[in-house]
Amino acid sequence: MDPKVKDKTGEKKKPKKMISMEAKHEIIAKHERGVRIIDLANEYGHNPSTISMIIKQKEAIKKLQPSKGVTIISKLRTDIHDEMEQLLLLWIKEKQLVGDSVSEAIICEKVGTIFQDLKRDVTETEGESSQGGEGFKASDS
């Protein structure tokens, strides 16, 4: 949220502080070791209700396997996003190993190609679920 945005009283709103997945895992682990919610709230600088919500969602948080480097999980994020990131990272590593340069424009183009391939694969798999679809084939471009 933009810190310049004002609430109904005309006061500036504080920017929303996001909690990283790593911090959420730390909070859950500390709580399981007996640290009180109020102490965790003070340590992490958040409202106790925020810490309580993390504790209530601990099973879902523990199940999440975000891609390397992902710190925040969006509700809009799908499995396709994770698979796309993993395929893109693999493609970038392959390009670097053979000494090819990879510009931002090339990466953006590849992301679009990977996403369309994954989307098409999901659509085909849903339509051919009884026939067993082929699966995703990464392009060499």
> Which tens digit of pLDDT belongs to each residue from 7-27?
667 677 777 777 888 889 899
- Predicted confidence (pLDDT) at residue 97 exceeds the cutoff of 60: yes
Please state, in angstroms and rounded to a whole number, the distance separating the CA atoms of residues 134 and 141.
20
CB 31 within 8 A of CB 59: no
Minimum mean pLDDT among 23-32, 62-71, 78-87, 106-115: which range?
62-71
Contacts of 76 (CB under 8 A, 6+ apart): none
For the chain, the average pLDDT equals 78
pLDDT (tens digit, 9 = 90+) per residue, 38-71? Answer: 999 999 999 999 999 999 988 888 877 665 556 5
